[in-house]
Amino acid sequence: MNKIIVWHNPRCRKSREGLAMAQKMAEDKALELEIRKYLDHPPSQEELKKVLKMLGMKPIELVRTKEAVWKEHFKGKDLSDDQIIKAMTQYPKLIERPVVIYKNKAVLARPAEKVLELFN
């Protein structure tokens, strides 16, 4: 799979910056770019588990804990990793962005320059 995949939210400035960096890398390396608006097409629990492994992160590290939905439904609860993953699939707004995936690696592109780590 020679393409870069970006989990993107067009309303987020950081996500737009990460996407711009991924687009530049795709052009420079003649790779296909797949933009996934993850709020419209949320990842499955299995996809999230796979990407978290690529990121080397625990599920809670990918959660936007300042989101109202987190505060209303989950804050202060002792949740398992699987429960956190399920929350992210139910409420994709909780997923930190942008996630950029290339081959078997992924980065949370905050800042956007983290995209470069996929090609080192």
71 and 103 both lie in a single domain: no
pLDDT in tens, 98-116: 999 999 999 999 999 999 9
20 and 62 both lie in a single domain: no
103 and 116 both lie in a single domain: yes
Beta strand 32-37 with 99-102 is: unpaired
Model pTM score: 0.94
Query: Does the annotation count 77 as an active-site position?
Result: no
Domain with residue 22: its CATH number is 3.40.30
Span 45-64, average pLDDT: 98
Length of the chain: 120
108 and 67 both lie in a single domain: no
What backbone torsions phi and psi does residue 45 show, to the nearest 5 degrees? -60, -40
73 and 48 both lie in a single domain: yes
pLDDT at residue 120, rounded to an integer:
83
Candidates 3, 12, 47, 50; catalytic one = 12
Model confidence band, residue 1 (pLDDT cutoffs 50, 70, 90): low
Domain that holds residue 85: 42-94
Percent pLDDT > 70 in the chain is 99
Domain count, the chain: 2
